[in-house]
Amino acid sequence: MKSRTRTRSTGGGPNKAVGAATMLPLALGLAVNFTAARPAGSVAPSTVDASAMTSPAVVAAGKAIPRIGLEAPASELLETWDKPTPNKSRLGSCGWFGTKGADKETNQRKNRTDLPSAYHAVEFSALTDLDWPREASTRRDRWTREQLEVIEPYEGEAVTVTGFIVALRPQANNSEATNCGASGEQNTDWHIALVGEHGDPEREAVVVETTPRIKRLHPNWTPAVLRPLVGTSDSVRVSGYLLFDPVHKGHLEKYRKTLWEIHPIHRIEVWRAGRWVDIDDQLP
């Protein structure tokens, strides 16, 4: 099954590759190995766990992951793209499933720290037009088999999308079962609302999220760095895993257009002075 609607341009700056390498920098001495020739759509686990690496190694590894189709993003997602099995990560005393009794399948995907072998660049509305079971519960562990089959062809695919930030909401003062009810910047996500056209309202957004297990490895990822981009015409490009978050149905048509998210994010770039700048580097 495919997303059936073709999409509009993302606008706001060229979608050009920035010379992403096709191999990890072995000079860093990383004990990792991306498999470039896995069969399409396979569910083999990734061999690369960011949580086991130093911050510089994670940044270098992320930049080495190729993005397929940057110059011509796909207008729809294909169910044949790889969907690596999420790993079972830990942050301090908080395990992969979050709070005991929580929605384990959703939380494992939110808390994953494995890196993909490649991303597929997609147009913005390839995400907003992607189908999902609107009658389903806010907990996927209560879904029917038929409801799960709607999202299974696409969830877990690694994608890259370009848009504009219309809202940035760090969750330091909140807590979620995903993160075992902890609060504070080091233990919580950011909810970033991304729209496809500059000037679009937040109700048209796709939410993309940093997670505490990934952002701690990116020292330049701070609210202070991203906040100046909110509401501007600076294009932002994010790469990460596609995830369906059933929890936030009450946010639809106000803070988001869809429950599909890119979560967790692995890479954030900004279009500046005619080129893409990774925010792991110094922004001009």
Domains in the chain and their CATH numbers?
Answer: 43-278 (2.40.50.140)
Distance of alpha carbon 240 from alpha carbon 158, whole angstroms = 5
- Predicted TM-score (pTM) of the model is 0.85
CB atoms under 10 Å from CB of 213, counted, come to 23
Report residue 74: phi and psi, to 5°: -70, 140
CB atoms under 10 Å from CB of 146, counted, come to 9
Q: Is 271 helix (H, G, I), strand (E, B) or coil?
A: strand
CB of 261 within 8 A of CB of 130?
A: no
Which residue type is seen at 268? Answer: I
pLDDT value of residue 174: 87
Chain centre distance of CA 64: 17
pLDDT value of residue 172: 84
Separation in Å, CA 139 to CA 105, 111, 190, 212: 9, 16, 21, 22
Q: Which residue, 50, 39, 25, 123, is CA-closest to 82?
A: 39
The DSSP letter of residue 240 is: E
Look at strands 119-121 and 67-68 and give their pairing: parallel
Look at strands 236-244 and 206-210 and give their pairing: unpaired
pLDDT value of residue 117: 95
State the virtual CA torsion across 92, 189, 99, 53 in degrees, nearest 10.
Answer: -30
Distance of alpha carbon 111 from alpha carbon 99, whole angstroms = 12
Q: Which residue, 218, 196, 249, is CA-closest to 53?
A: 218
Q: Which residue, 161, 128, 121, is CA-closest to 7?
A: 128
CB of 266 within 8 A of CB of 62?
A: yes
pLDDT along the chain (284 residues), means of 10: 37 37 35 40 70 96 96 97 96 94 95 97 97 95 97 98 97 89 92 97 98 96 95 97 95 96 98 94 76
Which residue type is seen at 273? Answer: A
CB of 63 within 8 A of CB of 277?
A: no
Q: Please name the residue that has the structure tokens 């504070």.
A: 184
Please name the residue ranges forming H helices in 85-210: 104-110, 125-128, 145-151
pLDDT value of residue 284: 65
Report residue 263: phi and psi, to 5°: -165, 110
Please list, residue by residue across 62-101, b when 16 or more beta carbons sit within 10 angstroms of its beta carbon and e when fewer do: bbbbbbbbbeebbebbbeebbbbebbebebeebbbbbbee
